[in-house]
Structure 1
Amino acid sequence: MADAALRLKTLVEQLLQAPLPVRVRAWDGSEAGPPGAPVLVVHNRRALRRLLWKPGELGLARAWVAGDLGVDGDLYTVLDLLAGLIWERGDDARTLAQALRDPDVRAAVRGLAKLAGPFPPPPPPREEVRQGLRGHLHTRHSDKRAVSHHYDVGNDFYEIVLGPSMVYSCAYWDSPEGTLEDAQRDKLELVCRKLGLKPGQRLLDVGCGWGSMALHAAREHDVSVVGITLSEEQATCARKRVADEGLADRVEIRVQDYRDVADGPYDAISSIGMAEHVGAERYLEYARDLYSLLRPGGRLLNHQIARRPQRDESSYAVDAFIDAYVFPGGELAPLGTTVTQLERAGFEVRDVESLREHYALTLRRWVANLEAGWARAQHLTGVGRARVWRLYMAASALAFESNRIGVNQVLAVRTPDSGASGMPSRSRIWN
């Protein structure tokens, strides 16, 4: 079809009942849309079939991961321009049913179906997890499978993205011009200071990743650390790092579920970027388990992504793309819900610090790392997986910047019956 881009743009605007803010380049080489705007490249008709078969975010994600859709220009700009059409409209069945009551919308769908060619679309990209793993009930078995999907994609790939620090949570920036490694070191030190670590104490690091927090705490604060993870690849890397630094006498790395830790009490617990995997139905159990593992007066530092409160609080599930390709079964609760659950478990919450802007900057650095090592990343994990990560991190950076999601460090104490919390009389002395 000659000039497919103009036809496509016209039909999409009729469907959305809004002007398309980006330029479109179609499979026939034609272009249409605002001059000078970044270009959304529709490489083939399969992209349309995917979008019509699964309208909204998941269809777009499938087309992107499969290489049916691309971007000519700045990815952040394109995502920002499309945000109002993707994330803010919703793609649930009720929204779609309401839209299809409009005859113009129905006509646009018929026109796009004709332009898309024969149905059905091809299968989802192989990087998409099976439906049974998404929205699971957070059993030990299903949690291990979900963690393996996300983390067991190769330590060499994560080193490209995360850099030498191998810390997969937001850094703590003194200045946007600083290095990622310095900012990650400062974040680990901030956690240690909030926990008030002293030589000889025992620290449990829940979701220890590649061992960076455990190594920092043992090396800089002379504590004994048990780090737990469900990822075999993370544990292998962490144990090697521990051995290379000569800290095997103070750091133990286990492949273990937090529900199976039974060698308390600990003086402190760090949980950095792990609680998002717990699930709403298990969160109180998680909080109670950690509470039981602390000695009276022991502290918990819970570092967790949160989403803004919504009118419908029946589900905390992450969005469709992330659930299907990144964090199957992940859930994001509002900050107030997290604090309430910690208090219900017995904790006294003493401090809450938002690091939202810090995470946005961290993600942009990770995206830059991935783009700089793009050829090797694709070789290590495949083109589809690399595309998943580029889209996921860039979209997440924009979500933090626009306050759609946030991240918070919650410092809580297992306050003794005497009421003497052991906390400093002046708050935030760690800053």
Structure 2
Amino acid sequence: MGDAALRLKSLVEQLLGTPLPVRIRAWDGSQAGPPEAPALVVRNRRAVRRLLWKPGELGLARAWVAGDLDIEGDLYTVLGLMSGLVWERGEDARSLTETLRDPGARAAVRGLVRLTGLPLPPAPPPEEIRRPGHLHTRRTDKRAISHHYDVGNDFYETVLGPSMVYSCAYWPRPDATLEEAQRDKLELVCRKLALTPGQRLLDVGCGWGSMAVHAAREHGVAVVGVTLSREQAAYARKRVADEGLTDLVEIRVQDYRDVTDGPYDAISSIGMAEHVGAEKYLEYARNLYRLLTPGGRLLNHQIARRPQRDEETYHVDAFIDAYVFPDGELAPVGTTVTQLERAGFEVRDVESIREHYALTLRRWVANLEADWRRAATLAGPGRARVWRLYMAASALAFEGNRIGVNQVLAVRTPESGAAGLPLRARTWN
């Protein structure tokens, strides 16, 4: 047995200036570190080369997606232990040249180069997508949505389960089923919107049609659902037909900016606004305001990040941007509320359900791991690894209060000032 693991552990600790909290198992079968600790498996020298050429989160992500790195033990434990050790400069993570400017790191880097070699940078995995130069045009939004959602409906069924809801569930108790919690979330949205038979609902970013079907079946409303994903639309239309709801539900492949057949009595936007982008958010809010009848309600369900002391230094997450949501931009909840009110809405309620998303993500990860072979066959091993890492890391981020998720209820209040909400709005009658 060789000594690559011991050398690698020593050099990485020298580079980081702190002990590694995990065990290292290297490509030559050697191991180093606490024997009881979970292991970071370095399958080949290419994994280290990726980190040398792209230090930080993006290099680690490329090695993980390509299968050059793996984890032996509990994924959540390793992610928690490693989260504070990766230097990160947003999407501009330090290059090898910048790293070598640090005198204290040069010896460690030279040792890593001797251990692994340093040819040309390894090509990124094919699952990586380049961030477009101009975000949130109709063309780039459609491309980004296709990258994320047109992975295959069978793959998403494996992860999401029968509910096919790809947003935070609303848990009555931690041991409830995922399907029960997703049903409760859809019902909560319907109650906040005060849906009644005969009303018109616009579901923006309708996904696989779960909200549209639930609202039509349980509340008798006429629903228009819009998505940019053709695979989602085909799946949603079949669900609508199978439920016998074609007279109430229409599913369109359409950009929300192109919806012109208002007014609607209510609008649901569940897990869609994260794709809109900071520069386009006011336009998004004004479009939805325009489509509502006076007195109509909007339920905006959206992930939020914590505000920075200096917002100008904020950068998108390098891994999420390259592999998951190439158009995704998170904003603090206060910014979202401000933009909705600038568009003319009166914000009447904000409910944080952060812990609910952590529970939801852990269930999705469990589904993926339980049927890993099928998921990897359907989407490809690299894409399945992307989803496993992204969902597990996101669960920890919600649990650690680094990100949150909020349901914002806003009203197009008429000139009379009568918003139409009960005096005790949280009863949602």
TM band (smaller chain) = over 0.9
- The normalised TM-score by structure 1 is 0.96
Contact 1:171 1:180 in 2 (8 A): yes
Aligned to 1:355: 353
Aligned to 1:388: 386
Q: Write out aligned runs for 1:27-426 (5 A).
A: 27-86=27-86, 92=92, 100-129=100-129, 131-133=130-132, 136-314=134-312, 318-426=316-424
1:60-83, Cα deviation, whole Å (9 max, x unpaired): 010001110001101110001001
1:338-363, Cα deviation, whole Å (9 max, x unpaired): 11100100000000001110000000
Matched residue pairs, number?
A: 429
Q: 1:303 to 1:70 in 2, by over 3 A?
A: same
In structure 1, what is the Cα distance between the partners aligned to 2:91 and 2:21? 19
> Which SS does the other structure have where 2:311 is aligned?
coil
In structure 2, what is the Cα distance between the partners aligned to 1:149 and 1:257? 16
Aligned to 1:12: 12
What is the deviation of 1:384? 0.7
In structure 2, what is the Cα distance between the partners aligned to 1:103 and 1:15? 10
In structure 1, what is the Cα distance between the partners aligned to 2:112 and 2:400? 32
Tell which deviates more after alignment, 180-189 or 318-327. 318-327
What is the deviation of 1:85? 1.3
> Which SS does the other structure have where 1:428 is aligned?
helix
Give the partner amino acid of 1:80: G
1:231-268, Cα deviation, whole Å (9 max, x unpaired): 00000000000000000000000000010000000000
> Which SS does the other structure have where 1:34 is aligned?
coil
Segments of 5+ residues of structure 1 without an aligned counterpart are: none
1:283-302, Cα deviation, whole Å (9 max, x unpaired): 00000000000000000000
What is the deviation of 1:430? 2.9
Q: 1:96 to 1:121 in 2, by over 3 A?
A: closer
Tell me if 1:24 matches 2:33: no
Contact 2:216 2:248 in 1 (8 A): yes
Q: 1:316 to 1:347 in 2, by over 3 A?
A: farther
- Identity fraction in percent: 81
What is the deviation of 1:315? 6.7
1:96-129, Cα deviation, whole Å (9 max, x unpaired): 9886554221211121122121312321111111
> Which SS does the other structure have where 1:169 is aligned?
coil
Q: 1:91 to 1:15 in 2, by over 3 A?
A: farther
Contact 2:308 2:314 in 1 (8 A): no
Q: 1:88 to 1:400 in 2, by over 3 A?
A: farther
Contact 1:56 1:91 in 2 (8 A): no
In structure 2, what is the Cα distance between the partners aligned to 1:96 and 1:345? 46
> Which SS does the other structure have where 2:408 is aligned?
strand
In structure 2, what is the Cα distance between the partners aligned to 1:126 and 1:67? 12
In structure 2, what is the Cα distance between the partners aligned to 1:90 and 1:263? 41
Q: 1:224 to 1:315 in 2, by over 3 A?
A: farther
Q: 1:165 to 1:93 in 2, by over 3 A?
A: closer
1:9-55, Cα deviation, whole Å (9 max, x unpaired): 11111111111111101111111112311000000000001011111
Give the partner amino acid of 1:386: A
> Which SS does the other structure have where 1:352 is aligned?
strand
Q: 1:93 to 1:213 in 2, by over 3 A?
A: closer
- The normalised TM-score by structure 2 is 0.97
What is the deviation of 1:310? 1.1
In structure 2, what is the Cα distance between the partners aligned to 1:238 and 1:132? 29
Tell which deviates more after alignment, 1-10 or 202-211. 1-10
What is the deviation of 1:316? 6.0
Tell which deviates more after alignment, 309-318 or 107-116. 309-318
> Which SS does the other structure have where 2:203 is aligned?
strand
Give the partner amino acid of 2:279: E
Give the partner amino acid of 1:387: R
> Which SS does the other structure have where 2:84 is aligned?
helix
Give the partner amino acid of 2:394: S
Give the partner amino acid of 1:305: I
In structure 2, what is the Cα distance between the partners aligned to 1:427 and 1:208? 26
In structure 2, what is the Cα distance between the partners aligned to 1:306 and 1:87? 23
In structure 2, what is the Cα distance between the partners aligned to 1:187 and 1:238? 18
> Which SS does the other structure have where 1:299 is aligned?
strand
In structure 1, what is the Cα distance between the partners aligned to 2:190 and 2:226? 17
